[in-house]
Amino acid sequence: MKLKWESISTLHQNVFLAKVLAAIFITGLAFRFYAVRFGQVSVNGISDPQISPPSSVIISENEDLFPIDIEVEKCDLFTGKWIRDPLGPIYTNGSCGVVVDSHQNCITNGRPDSGFLYWKWKPNDCSLPRFDPLRFLHLMSNKSWAFIGDSISRNHVESLLCILSTVERPVEVYHDEEYRSKRWVFPSYNMTVSNIWSPFLVQAAIFEDSRGVSSAAVQLHLDRLDNTWTDLFPGVDYAIISSGEWFLKTAIYHENATPVGCHGCPQSSNITDLGFDYAYNTSLRHVMDFVASSNTKGTIFFRTSIPDHFENGEWHNGGTCKKTEPVNEDEVEMKVLNKILRDVEISQYQRVVTEMGEEAGRFKLLDFAGMLLTRPDGHPGPYREFRPFDKDKNAKVQNDCLHWCLPGPIDHLNDVILEIILNS
């Protein structure tokens, strides 16, 4: 009987010890989850006092879930809504490892609110993982990326570089004379990222100063692609091509080296005003046909043009953007000009992928227009300049309601792109 009593006592002791260890383990997991989910730490491990979540940020634990009967592989990543994100951006205004255009460095320039940083994109029918810069760099070892287009394309490439710089700082290895086209390399991964300046994608003679003020109409050759990007195109593994806004400028159109029309030309001229949509449609047709017939084995994306959010005017006549939070779909409508640009883009893309047949899989569409339409809060506004109201609180300042703050909503384009690549 004594032996039996001792074995039972030992058993009770072991059970008690197991319960204590389990309790410690569960407590540790809970603490780790809380620290990771709600901690705000910058890249160097030190809290950044400049960017902190507003006290009003509250997120429901289940609002990022989706119905279990949804087939994730059929999810439309471009249809969804913005939901609260207490984690905030991956990088901060002070931690980016590359030189960001000062006009997009909104927090450093004195923007007083930070709530616009604490939102993330949530597709309706699936979850969208947070961008993983380390995973991306491993996937892209020995690969090359090219962002081809205008200043929005530059805005996007700087966003990606800032995110990736939390793992390794890129080294700039090339720039053109005007510092508009650049190339960086991530040495440990032999990955290159290029920003290729080609706002029209076709050959253009542009006459404007550094402030964007034109002295003459653009001379635009609609049937001649810009070799700034076409010469490099066959060698890239991934490319994102985009255009749009620049076609709204006053221009003379040429085909077969002969003037055929214009947009915004004086009434006294003898040239027919064909409208910017004619020029954009013609140019994109040549761009799409070039992509379809090229011998590149890379994955090519075409990104639709992104709407601006100027209110009570435009860039040149006092337009502003004062909102500090996302809006619902029923609170905003895409402007007519943006609709025309997007219609041309969708039409030309659908035409060419139909003609490509089985080869169309390597040519993908990035339609971020609807996603960013509901983010009027993400622009620099008056904070495109450094502390614009320090000397005069009522100063009249030119607003930027076209480009995006860094960090800001444009960072989440990279979440979608990485998910598309992984699903492919």
| Residues designated as active site | 151, 400, 403
Q: How far apart are CA 307 and CA 95, in angstroms?
A: 28
Element (H, E) at 144: strand 144-149
Give the phi and the psi of residue 81 in degrees, each rounded to 5.
-150, 165
Q: What does the DSSP assignment read for 153-206?
A: HHHHHHHHHHHHTTT---EEEEE-TTS-SEEEEETTTTEEEEEEE-SSSEEEE-
Q: What are the helix (H) ranges across 232-295?
A: 276-293
Token readout for 146 is: 């090219």
Measured distance between the N- and C-terminal CA atoms of the chain, rounded to whole angstroms: 68
Q: What is the DSSP letter of 214?
A: B
* Interatomic CA distance for residues 329 and 375, integer angstroms: 10
Distance CA 40, CA 162 (A): 17
- E strand intervals along 206-280: 218-225, 238-241, 251-255, 258-263
Helix axes 413-423, 151-164, angle to 10 degrees: 70
Contact 362, 291 (CB under 8 A): no
Q: Where are the alpha helices (DSSP H) in 1-122?
A: 2-38
Report CA-CA distances (Å) from 136 to 161, 171, 397, 402: 12, 17, 39, 28
Residue 342: how many CA atoms within 13 Å on its side-chain side? 17
182-186 and 191-197 as β-strands: parallel, antiparallel, unpaired?
A: antiparallel
> Which residues on adjacent β-strands are paired with residue 302?
241, 365
Angle between helices 336-356 and 276-293 (to 10 degrees): 30
Residue from 214, 240, 212, 241 nearest 225 by CA: 241
